[in-house]
Chains A and B, each alone.
Chain A
Amino acid sequence: MNYSEKEIKDLENKAKDVRRLIVQILARAGSGHPGGSLSATDLISVLFFKKLNYHLNELRWKGRDRVHFSKGHACPLLFVLLSKIGHFPEKELWNLRRLNSILQGHPDKRTPGVEISSGSLGQGLSVAVGMALAGRLDKMNYSIYCLLGDGEVQEGEIWEAAMSAAFFKLDNLCAILDYNKFQIDGRVEEIMNIEPLVQKWQAFGWNVLEIDGHNIKEILKAYDNFKTAKEKPTIIIAHTIKGKGVSFMENVVDFHGRTPTEEETEKAMKELR
């Protein structure tokens, strides 16, 4: 598909709006994970605003596309987008991480629009395999999109799931790997190197796409490519910047799990204007 400059610009603006909300609600919550939410923002915003198949008036429609955040700690991003498409009012976002809130610290089924909880890393791709098998058994055309972290692929279960998805030829499954190069303890390559990543997924039998995860056009084209892939699951290995969009958070490992102060939030809002 071709995309006009206007469409691209529009998506960029929407993503910026999503980033503003992520920073604000995390600042309000006082804890949470900004770095890995901001790095995946372009990837998932494009998905929600442009590619996802769902019915606004019937959000639990059986034929809906499924989105599962295997890297559950990026849920502020998911929550902002779920509210944007109408699963719950935007004012709920300010209750993130509070007692009895529908918005928990990691994805939880109590949140309208969250398919299944996550947070313990490495399990989400397996869940997505199960959803993909169910879709095929039911002869439904929905797609399953599963967001993975880069550090997360250090978990052995990811590779069990990768093996099974290719074995079952699940071409309705699209994994999105947010390759921001950092995990809590430091740079991924220094903690436990995961390279060569492209070759690993290719060797496991996947359709592998390597893109700039902040280039809207490349993201759109990658999702289009996934739709044309046959008999193979797709993985989009997206090179991203941790904390993308807020200069003082970018590539700063501290912001994996620290929220901004009031002053920092103000500064971030200026940058995201």
Chain B
Amino acid sequence: MQYQRNVYGKALVELGRENKDIIVLDADLSSSTRTAFFAKEFPERFFNMGIAEQNMMAVAAGLASCGKVVFVSTFALFAAGRAWDQVRNTICHNNLNVKIVATHSGISVGPDGASHQALEDIALMRVIPKMSLIVPADAPQTKQAILAAAKHPCPVYIRLGRPKVEDLDKQDFRIGKANIIKEGRDISIIACGIMVKQALDAANILSKEGIAARVVNMSTIKPIDKEIIFDCLKQTKGIITAEEHSIIGGLGGAVSEIVSEIPTKKVVRKIGTRDRFGQSGEPQELMKEYGLTAQDIADAGREILMKNV
């Protein structure tokens, strides 16, 4: 079990050693986002912008316009929500080399409650032209995603969580490429972030009932891996998407957009928050309350198969 944030912080230091054009900005959350590691090693290339996310995003754009590779971090809600116009008009419209690494996404933020639980950020960031969007499932993938983003000279949004996560995906990460981490021919579960673990657990529940579920780690939400979605449709009886995000506009939305363009009778069932704000609670309690557990995914799988019969 590892924190994605710790891996992120260490990867930044590595990048900083290799490339003197790497600049890091944070908005008074560097100890939580772990950009503090970089700040300690390269104080001249780290700028704490104070609690002013809008300024931070546009400053990042200014730095990038002069050839810098800029990593910007804060909590997901403030990165994607507070500074949306700056991200759209100043970073993305200019296709600038800015990486927004947003931590503390989703309901698993826990006791801090609704104001700090970003359940809309995938939707907000995904809709902007030029933006790429990555939701790593575990710590090793987080590291690979950070290194890949640094080499991709365009805007990237990387969504990280607060809790520790298990190492799950042993395959290589590439932007735009999803990985099948468990094979199965009855049903497909396409998940991202911490829900990949829930998807694997759901596949285990279903396998005891004789149902073979395929688990896809859709780590890049944009550009989405269309081929793997088509394969899932062709080779299995339906798709379940699982995300720690609203079912409106997130991974489920993205997969549905692809599926809706081809003739098929197969369904896409979405696991995610259902047009609700979060609230305080322990992460596990919240996952249960909002229908984000392995059991919820397994139930959806059974339902799809029953309708198919």
- Could you list which residues of chain A lie within 8 angstroms of chain B, going by C-beta atoms? 62, 108-109, 115-120, 122-124, 126-135, 137-138, 156-157, 160-161, 163-164, 168
Given the complex of chains A and B, what is the CA–CA distance between A122 and B89 in angstroms?
11
Name the interface residues of B75-117: CB closer than 8 Å to any CB of A: 85-86, 89-90, 93-96
A117→B59 contact, CB < 8 A: no
Check A134–B67 contact: CB distance below 8 A. yes
| Chain B residues closer than 8 Å to A116, beta-carbon distance | 61-62, 65, 90, 94, 96
CB-CB contacts of B40-82 with A at 8 A, as 1s and 0s? 0000110101101011111111111111100000000000000
Q: Which residue of A lies closest to B63 (CB)?
A: A130
Q: What would 26 A/B residue contacts be, using CB atoms closer than 8 Å?
A: A116-B65, A117-B94, A120-B89, A120-B90, A123-B86, A126-B56, A126-B59, A127-B59, A129-B58, A129-B59, A130-B58, A130-B59, A133-B59, A134-B63, A135-B66, A138-B66, A157-B54, A160-B50, A160-B54, A160-B55, A161-B55, A161-B58, A163-B50, A164-B49, A164-B52, A164-B59
Which residue of A is nearest B57, CB measured? A126
Is B23 part of the contact surface with A, judged by Cβ < 8 Å? yes
- Tally of contact residues, B, Cβ under 8 A: 30
Residues of A within 8 A of B95 (CB): 109
B234 CB → nearest A CB, Å = 40
The reply to whether B89 and A127 form a contact with Cβ atoms under 8 Å apart is: no
Assess the A130–B89 pair: CB atoms within 8 A: no
Question: Contact between A127 and B90 (Cβ–Cβ < 8 Å)?
Answer: yes
Contact with A128, one of B50, B52, B62, B68 (Cβ below 8 angstroms): B62
Q: Which residues of B contact A124 (CB under 8 A)?
A: 58
Nearest-CB residue, chain A, relative to B49: A164
Which of A122, A127, A137, A161 has the most chain B CB atoms inside 10 A of its CB? A127
Given contacts A126-B58, A137-B44, A161-B58, contact A131 B90 (CB under 8 A): no
**B 260-273 binary contact with A (CB < 8 Å = 1; else 0):** 00000000000000
What B residues does A160 contact at CB under 8 A? 50, 52, 54-55
Residue of A with least CB distance to B53:
A160
State A135–B59 Cα separation when bound (angstroms).
13
In the assembled complex, the Cα of A137 lies from the Cα of B42 at a distance in Å of 12
CA distance A127 to B61 in the complex (A): 6
Most buried by B among A117, A129, A132: A129
Residues in B whose Cβ lies below 8 Å from that of A122 = 54
Q: How far is the CA of A128 from the CA of B59 in the complex (A)?
A: 7
Q: Which residue of A lies closest to B67 (CB)?
A: A134
Out of A119, A131, A156, which one reaches B63, CB within 8 Å?
A131
Known: A131-B62, A132-B62. 8 other contacts (CB 8 A): A117-B94, A119-B89, A126-B55, A127-B59, A129-B59, A156-B54, A157-B52, A157-B58
Minimum CB–CB distance from A185 to chain B (whole Å) comes to: 20
Which residues from chain B contact A108 at a C-beta distance below 8 Å? 93
- Scan residues 13-31 of chain B and give those whose CB is less than 8 A from a CB of chain A: 23
Instruction: Report which residue of B55, B67, B96 has the largest number of chain A beta carbons within 10 angstroms of its beta carbon.
Output: B55
State which of B49, B63, B90 has its C-beta within 8 Å of the C-beta of A123: B90
Distance in angstroms between the alpha carbons of A34 and B23 in the assembled complex = 39
Bound form: Cα–Cα A137–B59 in Å: 14
Give the Cβ gap from B163 to chain A, nearest Cβ, in Å. 31
Name the 3 nearest CB pairs between A and B, nearest first. Answer: A130-B62, A126-B58, A134-B66
Q: Could you tell me if B63 and A133 are in contact, using CB atoms closer than 8 angstroms?
A: yes
* Complex-state Cα separation, A164 to B28, whole angstroms: 13
Name which of A120, A126, A128, A131 has the most chain B CB atoms within 10 A of its CB: A126
Most chain-A Cβ atoms within 10 A of its Cβ — which of B58, B62, B67, B85? B62
User: How close is B93's CB to chain A, nearest CB, in angstroms?
Assistant: 5
User: Are A126 and B62 within 8 A (Cβ)?
Assistant: yes
CB closest chain-A residue, reference B64: A130
Note all chain A residues with C-beta closer than 8 A to B66: 130-131, 134-135, 138
CA–CA, A116 to B63, complex, Å?
Answer: 11
| Contact partners of A164 in chain B: CB under 8 A | 49-50, 52, 55, 59
Chain A residue with Cβ nearest B20: A137
Among A108, A115, A160, the one with the most B-chain Cβ atoms within 10 Å of its Cβ is: A160
Residues on B with C-beta less than 8 A from A168 are 47
Alpha-carbon distance between A157 and B53 when the two chains are bound, in angstroms: 9
Task: Identify the interface centre among A120, A123, A161: most chain B CB within 10 Å of its CB.
Answer: A123
